[in-house]
A and B are shown apart, each in its own frame.
Chain A
Amino acid sequence: MRKILIELVISVSILLGVWVLLSQVDWMKLFNIEQTTKSTEAKIGDLFWDLLSKSETEITSVSVVSPIDSMLSLICTKNKIDRLKIKFHLLHKDEVNAFALPNNHLVVYTGLINACENEAELYGVICHEIAHMEKNHVMNKLVKEMGLSILISMSTGNGNSEMIKGALKQLSSSAYDRKLETEADLTSVDYMVKAGIDPEPFANFLYRLSDESKNLPQQIYWISTHPESKARAEKIIEHIQNSGFIKAEKGDSLRFEGLKEKVGGL
């Protein structure tokens, strides 16, 4: 019996040893998997944005876009995120919605800005979407829902327009799974804390809009497609308490008030 046990331990050790040895090889690089994924992501992201930009009106006015640009720059600088990789687009639409597309396209609707009562709320939503980008949730969701082969065929120009529209709809008007949403929420709180922005208004925003969405669910996409908003807000509050963030009495910048006025006047 002892001999069998020794032989068994040796066999299992050899197997695990082979695994450990083979793990030293960077297979992802060797098989060019990361490169293929990155180039597919870039092509798909641009494909989605092309489609979206044709059907929606993008706001390019510097006076409107630059305050949000400054907000983005602050978040990125404080969290060591490459600002240049994020392609920000502000679209003129009443829906309360914001979403991330592959290849770091960040889309915000003017309806969202109108729905925010202060800049911290907008910071919260933007940080949440950046978290989806940084954690690679966008491509993960697409790969899981559509399959890598379909995405590659779309990126090589073989996908039909209905398929591309369907995929875009998935990203713009449906939530990620609960685990990913929670991860993005908590990461957004970390981003805000590092940037010195109070994350509590973000939780309040979720509370407030989850009540309002009962009356206008089709308008408030960002909330109606993100289920259990109240439970998420509670998790955010809990995470803020654990992060040890000290609230500073800091009012909204005039920039945000000005931004809201300009967006309202569009």
Chain B
Amino acid sequence: MISTEKFMYTPSEHEAEKASNSYIMSLIAIMGGLPLPIINLLATLIFYLGNRKSTYFVRWHCTQALLSQFFLLPFNSAGFWWTISIIFTPETLSSKYIAYIITILIFNLIEFVGTIYSAIVTRKGQHIEWWVIGGLTNLICKSDEKNID
């Protein structure tokens, strides 16, 4: 699910710290984002916007952290609105709903653990790519020669 890849240059200590922070930011977002999915996006988006002119390594990992939030956003949102409909409409609690909530909790937990691992590894200056998200980040985030130290 998460693979360590060789990056096109060796990031500096400062870059590794900033890249690691992008995952830490999304960690906080996951905690707030499960009950209210929009928090996920807002927190990582703000961090991404703040670092979009940073070096390639930092930008790359900020983008990966941002995109990782997009994957679970529709599922978390569906869970959120399903819960709202149970509270405010005639919709009732069912085994299907409980199964759905457990499923998204499992996937959020996997994402949570993956994010912690990413933050630790990136802090060491290593480059890691997530399943699906890594490939997508490579498509979106292009290297800028001027930013490479």
Contact = CB atoms under 8 A, between A and B. Distances in A.
The reply to whether chain A is a binding partner of chain B is yes
Interface of A: 1, 3-4, 7-8, 11, 15, 18-19, 22-23, 25-28, 31, 33, 136-137, 140, 144, 177, 179-180
B103 A27 contact: no
Interface string B79-119: 00000000111101111101110110011000000000000
Contacts of A26: 95
Contacts, number: 53
A10 to B, nearest CB: 8
10 contacts: A7-B132, A15-B75, A15-B107, A19-B99, A26-B95, A28-B95, A28-B98, A33-B93, A136-B92, A140-B90
Given A4-B132, A18-B106, A11 B71 contact: yes
Contacts of B93: 28, 33
A23 B95 CA distance: 6
Chain A residues touching B, majority SS: helix
A180 B99 CA distance: 26
B90, B102, B107: most-surrounded residue (chain A CB, <10 A):
B90
Contacts of B87: 144
A3 B139 CA distance: 12
A36 to B, nearest CB: 11
A19 B103 contact: yes
A18 B110 CA distance: 13
Contacts of B135: 3-4, 7
Interface residues of B, number: 23
A15 to B, nearest CB: 6
A144 B98 contact: no
B136 A22 contact: no
A26 B99 CA distance: 9
Contacts of B7: none
A48 to B, nearest CB: 21
A1 B103 contact: no
A44 to B, nearest CB: 17
Contacts of A22: 99-100, 102-103
Interface string B115-140: 00000000000000001100110010
Given A23-B96, A28-B93, A15 B132 contact: no
Contacts of A11: 71, 131-132
Nearest to A19: B103
Contacts of B92: 136, 140
A179 B89 CA distance: 9
A7 B136 CA distance: 10
Contacts of B75: 15
Given A1-B139, A23-B95, A177-B90, 10 more contacts: A3-B135, A4-B135, A4-B136, A7-B132, A15-B107, A19-B100, A22-B99, A28-B93, A28-B94, A136-B92
